[in-house]
Chains A and B, each alone.
Chain A
C-alpha cells in the first residue's frame, strides 16, 4: 500500500513541477511546447517494453508491437519535429544577422 502513497506523491508533485515550469513558457514557443510535451507522453512506450517479455499468445504480441510502434512514432516524431521548429527561431543578434547576410550574398 505504501508504494501507492509514494506513487501518488510523485504524481502530485510532478503535476506542480510541470505547472510551474510550463507557466513560464512564452506564447512565442507554445507550438513547439505542445509538440515537445506531446513527444514526452510517448513515454508510454516503456509500458510496451516492460510487458513485451511477459506477453503470451499472438494477440498480445501483436497488440504490444503496435503499442511500441505507436509509442516510437510519438517519441521520435515528436522530438524531431520540435527540433526542426525550434531550429528556425533566430534572434536579431549581430553575429546571427551577419550569418544571414552572408548567406544572402552568396
Chain B
C-alpha cells in the first residue's frame, strides 16, 4: 500500500521526469559520433519510456476504468501503424517518413490543445496556461497540415513544383491575423470560446496548407526541418500549459535542433529561411541559365570501358553521389566499384554535399546502408581542397550540388550556393540518365566543360558495367 502511494506521489513522478530528461539529453550527446549514436538513441528511448510510465503512475487511480482501455487503444493503434512503417520504409523515402512522423506529432499537440480548451471553457483557467496552449494549438495545427503537404510533395502524390494562388502572401497574412485575433479573443475571455478555438484550428490548418503548397520540392527538406522545430516548440508550450517539466525540456531540445538544422540547410543552399518560406523556387527559373548553358557547346559522351581505364590508372578517385544514385538503387553497385578500384590500389573517397539527397545527411545514410564505411565519406569543406589533386571525379546522379554556375554566374538562381568543386579535378565523369536538369530545374555548365565526359544510362547498370571492366583489366 505504502509503495503504491509513493509511486503516485508528485515527488516520485518529478524525480522520474528529471531522470527521463537527463537520459534524453545524454542520449542526444551520443549522437555526436557514429560510434556512440546507436546507444545514444536507445538511451533517449529509455528516457522516453520512463517519462511515459511515470505519467501513467501519476494518473494512478484512473478515474473510471475506461481510461486504461482508451490509453491502451490509442497506444495499440499507434504501434500498429508506427512499427511497420518504421521497419519497412526505404532509406530513400526517409524525408517523407520524417515529415509524416512530424505531422502526427503536431496533430497530437493540436488535439490535446482542443481537449484542454473544452475542459476549461468558462472556467478559471490561468491565463498563462491558456496562452501557451493557444500557441500549441496554432503551431501544432500548422505543423500537422504543413507536414502532410510536404509528405505529399516528396511522395509525389502532389506535384513538386510550387503551387501558388494569386495574392497568396496576402491570404496567408489574413489567415495569420485571423488566427492571432481569435487567440487574443479567447485569452481576453470571450463568451464563444468553443467557436473561436475551432476557428483557430481551422485557420491554422489552412495556413499550414497554404504556406507549404507554394514551396518547391527542392526546398522541402528545409520546410520539414522547420516544421520539426515548430512541433518541438509547440510540445514545449503544451508542457508549460500542463506544468510538465519533461515535456518542456524535450520540446525545447527539438526546437533547438530543428532551428540549427534549418539554418545549416538554408546556408548550404545559400537561401534564407524567409525566402524559402515565401516559396516559388524551383521549376520556373530554368530559362535564362539554359541559354547560357547551350552556348557552352556540346557534351562529350563516353563508354563504360573508357571510364574503367580512366579510373584504374588514377591515383585518387572521388565519387560525388547525388539523389539520382539512390533513385537508381545504385549504392551497392557503387560500393562494389569502390572495392574493385581499391583492389587495384586506387584511393577512393566520397564527396558528400550537406544537402546531397533529400535532407541533410541523407546521402550518408544511403551509403551506410550499402556498407560504405563512414570514414570514406568526406564532408564538403574537407574534400574541396582535395579536388585539385584528384585524377577523376565520378559524379553519380548529382547535379545542382556540382554546378559551377553557383560560383561563376551571378545571374544563376543558385549563385552563391556552396558546391562540391568537382570542376577542379583533372577529369570529370558524369553518370546521367538523360540531359534533363536537376531537382531545382537549373542547367549545369559542368556538363559542357571540355574535361567532362558523360556516360548516359541507368546509374546502376552503368556502374556495374564499369566495375566489370575494371575487374577485367
Which A residues form the contact surface with B (CB < 8 A)? 3-4, 7-8, 10-11, 14-19, 21-56, 59-61, 63-92, 97, 100
Whole-angstrom distance between the Cβ of A63 and the nearest chain B Cβ? 5
Give bound CA distance, A22 to B32, whole Å.
Answer: 8
Chain A residues with Cβ below 8 Å from B44 are 36, 39-40, 79
Q: Smallest Cβ distance from B257 to chain A, in angstroms?
A: 4
Query: In the bound complex, do residue A35 and residue B97 qualify as a contact, i.e. CB atoms below 8 Å apart?
Result: yes
Instruction: State whether A27 touches B361 (Cβ < 8 A).
Output: yes
Q: Which of B215-245 contact A (CB under 8 A)?
A: 224-225, 228, 231-232, 234-236, 238-240, 242-245
Using a CB–CB cutoff of 8 Å, the interface residues on chain B facing chain A are 21, 24-25, 28-29, 31-35, 37-38, 41-42, 44-45, 48, 51-52, 55-56, 58-59, 61-64, 66-67, 70-71, 73-75, 77-79, 81-83, 85-87, 89, 91, 94, 97-98, 101-102, 104-105, 107-109, 111-112, 114-116, 118-119, 128, 224-225, 228, 231-232, 234-236, 238-240, 242-261, 264, 352, 354, 357, 359-362, 364-365, 368-369, 371, 373-377, 379
Picked from A8, A29, A38, A40, the residue with its CB within 8 Å of the CB of B37 is: A29
Q: How far is the CB of A77 from chain B (nearest CB, A)?
A: 3
Which residues of B are found within 8 Å of A82, using beta-carbon distances?
41
Closest to B72 in A: A68
Known contacts A48-B112, A51-B115, A77-B83; A40/B379 CB under 8 A: no
Q: Are A41 and B85 in contact (CB under 8 A)?
A: no
What 12 new A-B contacts, CB under 8 Å, besides A54-B63, A66-B107? A28-B374, A31-B360, A39-B44, A44-B238, A46-B247, A47-B247, A61-B70, A64-B115, A69-B77, A74-B108, A79-B44, A84-B86
Chain A residue, CB-CB nearest to B60: A53
> Bound state CA distance, A73 and B245, in angstroms?
22
| Bound Cα distance from A78 to B86, whole angstroms | 7
Q: Which B residues lie within 8 Å of A28 (CB)?
A: 34, 352, 361, 364, 374, 377, 379
Q: Which of B56, B82, B114, B260 contacts A49 (CB 8 A)?
A: B56
Secondary structure class of chain B's binding surface, majority of residues? helix
Cα A102 to Cα B328 with chains together (Å): 28
Distance in angstroms from A35 CB to nearest chain B CB is 5
**Is the Cβ of A36 less than 8 Å from the Cβ of B31?**
yes
**A49-B71, A71-B108 are contacts. A26–B33 as well, Cβ < 8 Å?**
yes
Complex contacts, B228 vs chain A, CB 8 Å: 34, 37-38, 41
B contact residues around A21 at 8 Å (CB): 25, 28-29, 32, 253
The interface residues of chain A lying within 8 Å CB-to-CB of B261 are 22, 30, 33-34
What 7 A-B pairs come out closest when comparing CB atoms?
A: A72-B78, A68-B74, A18-B256, A30-B361, A77-B82, A14-B252, A92-B373
B61 CB, nearest partner CB in chain A, Å: 8
Cα separation A92 to B58 with both chains bound (whole Å): 47
Contact for A32 among B35, B77, B252, B361, CB less than 8 A? B361
B74 touches A72 (CB 8 A): yes
Whether the pair B101, A27 counts as a contact (CB closer than 8 A) is no
- The answer for the CA separation of A79 and B51 in the assembled complex, in Å, is 15
Q: Which residues of B contact A44 (CB under 8 A)?
A: 105, 108-109, 112, 234-235, 238, 247, 251
